[in-house]
Amino acid sequence: MTQEEKRRFLISRLLREQPRYAHMEMPDEAGEQKKLLRALFNIRMPDAIGEEFIKVQDAYLQSEIKGKGITDLSDLPQIEQDIYLWQGDITTLKVDAIVNAANSQMLGCFCPCHGCIDNAIHTYAGVQLRNECNALMEENRKIYGRDYEEPAGRAMITKGYNLPCSYVIHTVGPIISGRLKKKDCEQLSECYRSCLETALENGIKSMAFCCISTGEFHFPNDKAAQIAVKTVREFKRINRSRLEVVFNVFRDIDYEIYRELLTQN
């Protein structure tokens, strides 16, 4: 199958799962097909799906990611020992684990084609990621009750599936409403610490952090970066860890903030 044939196959199968969209016509233009496919991935509830779908989906997504260009950790210069700064698409970064800024439901972003990192990671990992997250949350609900939501500051690890990374570490950052409080800063620091502990517990040698809580959750960019760098440096020092850490940023403003912090003595 060509990439277009795979895309049409996946769209058709996903539309069949959605009775209200069953009669939607397939767009002719490739860009519109990609938007529709991403939207269908985003709104699909966690559920089993056939082996044929998974086989075609995996081949399609891996080709799409390769087409965007995969960046290997070995291609990045160190900004200080075992610490890197990289501006780019985290779904194309080849490290042992990437960190996802998740929401408290831990199932990914259900908003079609939303620009958040949670949406991008779940889209390019494939439907298996939402299914695994749901299975882990079901285990938590058995312990804590049906209304359980993941609290800020903890971390949960899953496979990376079709992403270049082997694992995704999911963490829920604090949501800022009004003035920044001491508790907000403590919770954000705990997010970074929990992810680092999870990495060490699972034998992970390299990981990439996104800018947790600074997007939809409105944590001030400069303060968030200060907490991130401080927490990582302290953790590595206390644990004498050689874990390689990438601070991944997408916007220019975050790159400048991190670059200044990391080049200070």
pLDDT digits (tens, 9 = 90+) for 183-206: 999 999 999 999 999 999 999 999
Q: Which residues of 136-160 are buried (b: 16+ CB within 10 A; e: fewer)?
A: bbeeeeeeeeeebebebbbbbbbeb
Residue length, the chain? Answer: 265
Mapped onto helix, strand or coil, the DSSP state of residue 20 is helix
Cross-strand partners of 85 = 247
Mapped onto helix, strand or coil, the DSSP state of residue 245 is strand
**Pairing mode of beta strands 83-87, 78-80:** antiparallel
Residue 79 backbone dihedrals phi, psi, to 5 degrees: -95, -25
pLDDT digits (tens, 9 = 90+) for 87-137: 999 999 999 999 999 999 999 999 999 999 999 999 999 999 999 999 999
Confidence of residue 20 (pLDDT cuts 50, 70, 90): confident
What is the predicted pLDDT for the residue at 15?
Answer: 94
pLDDT digits (tens, 9 = 90+) for 213-227: 998 888 999 999 999
Tokens representing residue 108 in the block: 């990914």
pLDDT digits (tens, 9 = 90+) for 41-91: 999 999 999 999 999 999 999 999 999 999 999 999 999 999 999 999 999
Tokens representing residue 265 in the block: 């003595």
